Amino acid sequence: MAFTAMHAERGRLDASRDDLGCGWAWAAVHRARPRVPLTCPECGHGVHAKLSPARMRFFAHDAGAPQCTLAGESMEHHLLKLQLAGEIRAAGWLAELEVRAPDGTWRADVMASSPNGARRIAWEAQLSAITEDEIRARTERYAAAGIGVCWVASRPRRWLELPDQSPRAPVSSHHGRRAPSAGLRRRRRHQHGRDYAGRRSGSGPPRR
């Protein structure tokens, strides 16, 4: 399961956006005949458009797919990514799901870009176990690309208190629009019955 797919001519498709991010309606790819050829941006295997019982749009891998990190993410992880993208867009910023570095050194769950494209913040829904060294290494890779990062967890984690490692993420308004961090950097977010703790680079330790 993934929220993004690649098309040879249209480029990157995002199931969380009304026009799929490429000017197409969902009907253009969902149950379309002849079938629209799409591939997974992570593993390159074929994917097809699907709807969950709750009408959530996504792309599913075709049969015989190799092991893919996008397909292995939990439903809680997917839902949190959607919530983050929605909050970022509500703040007036661009939000892209499952954005991969050109050289493959990082892949952001959600990449937030300021209205003028000058600033980027990667939002990571880190619900599985991870070491402090891994957090530092991944944060440093974002920093090398000039990208801030916010780590979001489902419960208090020791690494939420780590010193900042990447560029300061914006918190002030820009052209009358608030930065996504203005709403999302709060210590707790409540979604689907769960509380989420956030750690944003450049913000200092989260307030208790």
pLDDT digit string, tens, across residues 30-40: 999 999 999 99
In total, the chain counts a number of residues equal to 208
Structure tokens belonging to residue 97: 């799901």
Residues 97, 207: Cα–Cα separation, whole Å: 27
- What is the Cβ-side half-sphere exposure of residue 203, based on CA atoms within 13 angstroms? 25
- pLDDT digit string (tens) for 144-153? 999 999 988 7
Predicted pLDDT of residue 26:
96
Helix or strand run (H / E) with residue 135? helix 132-144
Q: Which domains are assigned to the chain? A: 4-61 (no CATH), 75-200 (3.40.1350)
- What's the pLDDT at 132? 86
Give the pLDDT score at 163: 52
**187 vs 53, 158, 161, 191, 193, CA distance in Å?**
32, 14, 12, 13, 16
C-alpha angle with apex 122: 14 to 5, nearest 5 degrees? 20
How does 1-19 read in b/e, with b if 16+ C-beta sit within 10 Å?
A: bbbbbbbeebebbbbbbee
Give residue 40's pLDDT. 95
User: Which tokens belong to 49?
Assistant: 């458009």
Residues lower than pLDDT 50 in the chain: 165-179, 181-197, 202-208
Strand stretches in 28-181, DSSP E: 38-39, 46-51, 57-61, 94-100, 107-113, 120-125, 148-153
The answer to whether the beta carbons of residues 103 and 203 sit under 8 Å apart is no
Q: How far apart are CA 135 and CA 129, in angstroms?
A: 11
CA atoms within 13 A on the CB side of 15: 27
